[in-house]
Structure 1
Amino acid sequence: MQLITVKMSDIYVSALDKLVELGMYPSRSEAIRVAIRDLLMKELWVDGMPMTKEIDIKVEQ
């Protein structure tokens, strides 16, 4: 897993903290990972499969 830095407004950070406080996610990082996963599923994947014919995504480990 790679470490990235993200800047966001205080309101978003507070909202993330509230989700963690409510026990919906174990950490801010996990909430952000889930949000990004959901965005990618919505925007880039069809029926659970990457749209590799339309976009080339390279995953480096």
Structure 2
Amino acid sequence: MPKTKSEEKMILISVHIPRQMLEELDELVRRGVFPSRSEAIRVAIRDLLLRESARGVEQGSGMLMSGR
């Protein structure tokens, strides 16, 4: 059974992004689209992994997000 959000250990990473991207990200948080920068970035990474995983299935390769 997959772990729930509260059971899943989060790992801290650092990334460098252009100032304009950060300002736009902060605006999404300010407007309440996301509760935090971290959550917005997690959603973006999840969507990227799902998209790439689907592309891999179309091309006959394995899944990126096994078990999810």
- Normalising by structure 2, we get a TM-score of 0.66
Could you list the structure 1 runs, at least 4 aligned residues long, displaced by more than 3 angstroms after superposition: none
- Normalising by structure 1, we get a TM-score of 0.73
Gaps of 5+ in 2: 1-9
1:19 corresponds, among 28, 35, 38, to 28
Between structures 1 and 2, the one with greater strand share = 1
Aligned residues: 54
Q: Which residue of 2 aligns with 1:8?
A: 17
Q: Which residue of 2 aligns with 1:54?
A: 61
Paired letter, 1:33? R
Q: Percent identical across equivalent pairs?
A: 47
State the shift of 1:56 in Å: 7.3
